[in-house]
Structure 1
């Protein structure tokens, strides 16, 4: 018995040490992102002032409102006019630059708080995270309480999948009753949306849709191959993700524009459903095959280090091997990307609402930076600059009722804004390095935004990321 007690004592001590190490690791990581805390910069916490001498791109119409004044009160756009007088308030000179709504990335995967700064630095003032974990609820709470500089933060719960899609990143549903319970739980715990994924059969999918309607929570759908593609045009589903799923599922990899048209027509008839193409993440397969040194590139220094070590490496090795075994794979992927561009063009011509999403945070798709690549692809697909900008502003904001206060510059809207040197309706690249980013009215200078990039570069938080993911596995599984 003495030996057993001694062994148990040693085990408890070791467990205690591991817990202590974990707490210290998470505390150090949290301390490393305290530069995002709003109370660290009192001058930036002032969210009431007048902006003068500014050209406004409101995005509720294709126009420029020249030389206007904007009154921002407590982070809300109070008034827009030629001349505004408010006593005892700071006046900010826009220097005849261009004021636009902040960009919205509707498909991201957030792994740490450093990424919040990367999104802001690139003019992204709202994000929709599509793989929810407990840590995202904590981020959401801090954002809502205005404790940190961050894009407006919305998140789905964990991905809902069928039984055969085994993996620690999937929440495998076995029956309709379980599906309903998960929807109820996610809504009660504070997740904003439900994400459906591969492998949901009709019975389980119906249960998710029915309960989502009862619980009044929107669904974001990564199409399931267990039901017809048209099944995802249900009114409870507010957006469908990835144009490659059109190729992989209803077209069965047949890049045929004649077969594509009926699919486009069916989507266009569903006026309540937006489409998120995520062209960048698929094109990055091609980029990986074209650049054997991509994992060592400077750009990937902005990726979360655990994701870079695991997911980025696995994806690169997968496609590097595919290229070695069959060199024609490179051309096949390029042709499919080009066909995706054709799909986006046809969706747009058919009147489908396109929303900008990058899948940032996985593989080699950089958080924040990738939105500019995505927008440029829409431009290449034939959209005008105004139509491109709509995908990341007003279109995105109208996808969910909870996001309606974003996306345009109008009285009563949240002051998530960008001040840029050139008119993005003429030159989209002006969005890449905004002079100022406004988050609920709080001004962030280019110097501060650049510091966010530097803080995130080559960060050393593998263990902290792993611990947060372990928490997810314990709680969600």
Structure 2
């Protein structure tokens, strides 16, 4: 009995200590991120502006509307004209710079609040988070309530797979009954979309699609190897992710241009959107070529430390080891990357809607910065600057209902905007260094963007991220 009492006291003491540790950790995190806190009562004053003397890139077509003024009221664009009389709102002189829609990254993995600032610092004013956890629902609610500064935020469920493929980062669905219950629960919780993953078997997938349509939760599909690639061309699926999986799944690892044409035809017939995420595959090349340098200059400085430890270093060890034992690895990966560019060109020429997504947040793939690398690859694939920019503006707004009010500069659209020094239709890289960013009409000047970037550098968020992981597992 004496030992039992001692054991109980020890357990209670450990629980109390853990509880105190958790509270202190989240309190410290809150203090470290208070620069992103907003006051909802200031909403009207902060989200109404008149931007004058700008050249507008409307993205409704490949053109520039020169010497215009744009009036924003309560976060919405209400007038675009040559001259708009100054009214009782903040007036911003664009000084002949270029105003274009904010960028949309449709495939990201967000791990902490600092990353939200990183996206804004890079002109990314909307994201589709593709690996949902409970804390993402809190982020979304705070952003929607104008309590937290960040891009427009929508999120999928956790990554769903079959029971035999379950792991700490993939939730295994046991059977069809479990699938019904799980999707219903996620809908009630407030997740916007369903994320299916590589090990999803057909019987479970059929139920997920049924529940997707019933609950109006479109599917973001990482192609499953448990079904044919052609299975994914379903109405319930919003987009198919990862060009590399066209090679590895649909083409069985063959760089076969003839077989590719059949896949392209399926995309066209199904009117299916595709998210290339070329940057994440290029990161394998960067790991092999840069070696230890990638941990700092390659993105480590702006990565969540827990994800570097749990995921990025695993990828680093895998690919550096493989290159050591198989020296031909690098050349093979480069050839596949070049074929990815060819696939993107073929999809684009066939009229497939391409959605700019980066897989940022994992494998040294820097949040915010990655989108500019991704867009550069689309240019390399043969798209024009206007066509490439559409993948991160217009296309997401037409393919993803929750982004319907974004993507162009027109009356009634949300004022998510980038002010840049040069014309992005001539030099798309100018968007990587915004002069200013507007999110929901809120004006973020250059020095504020620099602060958002600096605050996210070498951040200490490892413990709070670990607790968020544990919460999602529980």
TM-score tier, shorter chain, comes to over 0.9
Q: Pairwise mapping of residues 77-476 of structure 1 onto structure 2 (< 5 A)?
A: 77-85=77-85, 87-271=87-271, 273-298=272-297, 299-474=299-474
Moved segments of 4+, more than 3 Å:
39-45
- Answer yes or no: is the 8 Å Cα contact 1:39–1:45 preserved in 2: no
Structure 2 Cα separation of the partners of residues 94 and 41 of structure 1: 27
**3-state SS in 2 of match to 1:97:** strand
Secondary structure of the equivalent of 1:353?
A: coil
Aligned with 1:454: secondary structure?
helix
Cα shift at 1:49: 2.0
What is the distance in 1 between the residues matched to 2:43 and 2:231?
51
The TM-score with structure 2 as length reference comes to 0.97
The answer on whether the counterparts of 2:241 and 2:277 sit within 8 Å (CA) in structure 1 is yes
Task: Return closer, same or farther for 1:467/1:210 CA change in 2, 3 Å cut-off.
Answer: same
Distance 1:202 1:220 in 2: 16
CA contact (8 A) 2:40 2:145 kept: no
- CA distance, structure 2, for counterparts of residue 45 and residue 459 of structure 1: 32
Query: What is the alpha-carbon distance in structure 1 between the residues aligned to residue 292 and residue 193 of structure 2?
Result: 38
3-state DSSP of counterpart to 2:240: strand
Q: Deviations over 1:314-335 (max 9, x none)?
A: 1000000100111001100000
- Alpha-carbon distance between aligned partners in 1 of 2:35 and 2:22, rounded to the nearest angstrom: 22
Structure 1-normalised TM-score? Answer: 0.97
1:2-151 superposed matches below 5 A: 2-39=2-39, 46-85=46-85, 87-151=87-151
Q: For each residue in 1:441-466, what CA deviation from the matched residue of structure 2 results, as whole angstroms up to 9, or x when unmatched?
A: 00001111111111111111211110
Per-residue deviation, 1:10: 2.3
Does structure 2 conserve the Cα–Cα contact (< 8 Å) formed by 1:71 and 1:79? yes
8 Å CA contact 2:301–2:458 kept in 1: the answer is: yes
CA distance in 2, matches of 1:407, 1:358: 18
Q: Structure 2: which 5+ runs fail to align?
A: none
2:223 and 2:41 mapped to 1: Cα distance? 44
- Given that residues 129 and 155 in structure 2 are in contact (C-alpha distance below 8 angstroms), is that contact kept between their aligned partners in structure 1? yes
Provide Cα deviations, 1:379-422, integer angstroms capped at 9, x if missing partner.
00000000000000010121221210011111111101000010
Q: Secondary structure at the match of 1:408?
A: coil
Query: Are the aligned partners of 1:45 and 1:442 in contact in 2 as well (CA < 8 Å)?
Result: no
In 2 relative to 1, CA 320–40 (structure 1 residues): closer, same or farther, beyond 3 Å? farther
CA contact (8 A) 1:44 1:444 kept: no
**Shift of residue 87 of structure 1?**
3.5
Whether the aligned pair in 2 keeps the contact of 1:134 and 1:472 (CA below 8 Å) is yes
User: Secondary structure of the residue that 2:163 maps to in structure 1?
Assistant: coil
Q: Report deviation, 1:45.
A: 5.7
The CA distance in 2 between the partners of 1:257 and 1:88, in whole Å, is: 59
CA RMSD of aligned residues (A): 1.5
* 280 and 377 in structure 1: CA distance in 2 versus 1, 3 angstrom threshold: same
Secondary structure of 1:38's match?
coil
Contact 1:123 1:432 in 2 (8 A): yes
SS at match of 1:71: strand
SS at match of 1:398: helix
| Cα separation, partners in 2 of 1:41 and 1:254, compared to 1, 3 Å | same
Q: Is the 8 A contact 1:295 1:312 kept in 2?
A: no
CA distance in structure 2 between the aligned counterparts of 1:252 and 1:78, rounded to whole angstroms:
51
The offset of 1:297, in angstroms, is 2.1
- Using the alignment, how far apart are the partners of 2:268 and 2:408 within structure 1? 24
1:306-364 Cα offsets, whole Å, 9 max, x none, are 11122111100000010011100110000000000000000001100000000000011
Corresponding residue SS for 1:94: strand
Contact 1:108 1:357 survives alignment (8 Å): yes
Partner SS, residue 164 of structure 1: helix
Equivalent pairs, count: 473
Unmatched runs of 5 consecutive residues or more in structure 1: none
